[in-house]
Amino acid sequence: MPLIGPEPKPGDLIEFHRVAYQHWGVYVGNGYVVHLTDQEGWSSLSSAFGGTAVVRKDRLESVAYGCDYNVNNKYDSKCSPYPAGKIVNAALKQVGKKMDYSVTSANCEHFATDLRYGKQFCDQVDNAKIYAAGGTAIAAGIFAAFAISSMRSNRQKQ
């Protein structure tokens, strides 16, 4: 569970590197993070099928669960974060609440960024949409090329 980079400060976004995705939380100080997760507290991905998740305050090391993690306030260049005290207080007020969960519109990164900036961001979802659109475009291009080739072949046979 090695920390990559600088030590977190209260109000920082923490990115936990899982095998196929990232889990996000807000550092609230004294070794604790507030995050949107399943009942066990390991990640939000297992909540994806249930449609609900819970906000928990857990030890940073427990949430890392053996994975690398780092401070990642990557949206600071897009918009100004709230003051650290406001972020921490807002995060702590959410602890224990059950919330709707959606991989695409209400996940742990949306939750964490909303606390820090008052706006929800999620590059994981945005990137997946881009890749999906790109894959669809490639498939459509292959289909079009095949269709054109078939039409030419049929014309030549006639």
**Catalytic status, residue 67:** no
List the structure tokens of 26.
């807000």
Which listed residue (17, 67, 79, 108) is catalytic?
A: 108
Assess whether 23 carries a catalytic annotation: yes
Q: Which of 35, 67, 110, 122 is catalytic?
A: 35
Q: Answer yes or no: 35 catalytic.
A: yes
Catalytic site residue from 17, 23, 67, 79: 23
Catalytic residues: 23, 35, 108
